[in-house]
């Protein structure tokens, strides 16, 4: 099934492999992770305890974010929608809302970090509100069929992690996202990044809650990808590290050829090494 074509909301895919989004920190035009005049924002004015990587200065202490007021949250929602329109104008088929890995949307979702007591925090419904408003505004701006969203329940990267009531909250979130008729849900299980596996008991409820296409992500090889597709637990499978290290990944998988191993030491360094220098195998065609 991995090499079967798939129709994703009008977009014809040649196979069921997709490439996972990967942060590489390749920029060399600045000494910071944010441009001049920008500020770090979040649901709470609490800094990430882990240091942040910068291309020019290496690891630096995380900045204490500005806690967004309600009117500022609404302005950020509009910024997401505006950015999506710019992506479409640039020629993108669609966009993915990154709501995992400790990015802003997940900070609002996660009860360990969002301890607000207003309409954007204090309950599961309120914590879900920002994600749903962003998804709805983006879908309204470019059409729901051009919008996907990435979630990682139980992901612990960037000081995230499980919290009381997480299963029920994410099932409710997915149901609401399903009502928006988004193109897909990208569900991430992140053991390779030190996170625990999501409980097996959560898989079926999460699958049932979202009626659109589901992308599974997290340490897949060909056998595991075929298995999850055959079980109807996912419609597409995302590959990250192996896609990075193998520019001819689809052909290698089709022919059961050996894969290049990703050079972890180059994941967050500037320059072409570990980015454009992985070899392809001769004589293969997808």
pLDDT, mean of each 10-residue run, the chain (286 residues): 93 94 67 71 90 74 91 97 98 95 94 94 97 98 96 82 92 97 91 63 90 92 95 94 93 94 84 86 74
What pLDDT sits at residue 189? 84
Beta-carbon neighbour count of residue 197 at 10 Å?
A: 13
Q: Cα separations (Å) of 151 from 68, 82, 118, 142, 169?
A: 22, 21, 23, 21, 12
What pLDDT sits at residue 284? 72
What pLDDT sits at residue 267? 84
Residue for token pair 């612990």: 156
> DSSP letter at 134?
H
Tokens representing 104 are 């802003």
What pLDDT sits at residue 286? 62
103 is catalytic: yes
Q: Catalytic one among 53, 103, 275, 278? A: 103
Q: Cα separations (Å) of 7 from 10, 33, 34, 235?
A: 6, 37, 38, 10
- Nearest 5°: the CA angle 81, 82, 83 is 90
For the stretch 91-149, pLDDT in tens is 999 999 999 988 999 999 999 999 999 999 999 999 999 999 999 999 999 999 999 99
């Amino acid at each position: 099934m991995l090499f079967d074509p798939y129709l994703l909301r009008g977009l014809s895919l040649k196979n069921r492999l997709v490439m996972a989004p990967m942060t590489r920190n390749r920029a060399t035009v600045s000494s910071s992770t944010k441009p001049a005049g920008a500020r770090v924002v979040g649901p709470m004015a609490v800094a990430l305890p882990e240091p942040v990587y910068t291309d020019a200065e290496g690891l630096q202490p995380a900045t204490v974010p500005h806690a967004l007021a309600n009117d500022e949250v609404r302005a950020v929602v509009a910024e997401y929608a505006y950015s999506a329109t710019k992506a479409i104008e640039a020629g993108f088929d669609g966009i993915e809302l990154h709501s995992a890995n400790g990015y802003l949307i997940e900070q609002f979702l996660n009860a360990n970090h969002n301890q607000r007591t207003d309409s954007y925090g204090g309950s599961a419904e309120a914590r879900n509100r920002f994600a749903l408003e962003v998804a709805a505004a983006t879908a309204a701006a470019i059409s729901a069929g051009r919008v996907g969203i990435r979630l990682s329940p139980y992901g612990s990267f960037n000081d995230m992690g499980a919290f009381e009531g997480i299963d029920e909250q994410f099932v409710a979130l997915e149901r609401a996202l399903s009502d928006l008729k988004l193109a897909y849900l990208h569900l991430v299980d992140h053991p390779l990044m030190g996170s625990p596996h999501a409980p097996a008991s959560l898989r079926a409820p999460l699958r049932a809650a979202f009626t659109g296409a589901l992308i599974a992500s997290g340490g897949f090889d060909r056998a595991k990808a075929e298995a999850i597709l055959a079980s109807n637990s996912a419609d597409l499978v995302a590959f990250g590290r192996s896609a990075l290290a193998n520019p001819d990944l689809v052909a290698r998988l089709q022919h059961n050829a050996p894969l290049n191993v990703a050079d972890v030491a180059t994941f967050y360094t500037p320059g072409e090494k570990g980015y454009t220098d992985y070899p392809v195998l001769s004589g293969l065609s997808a």
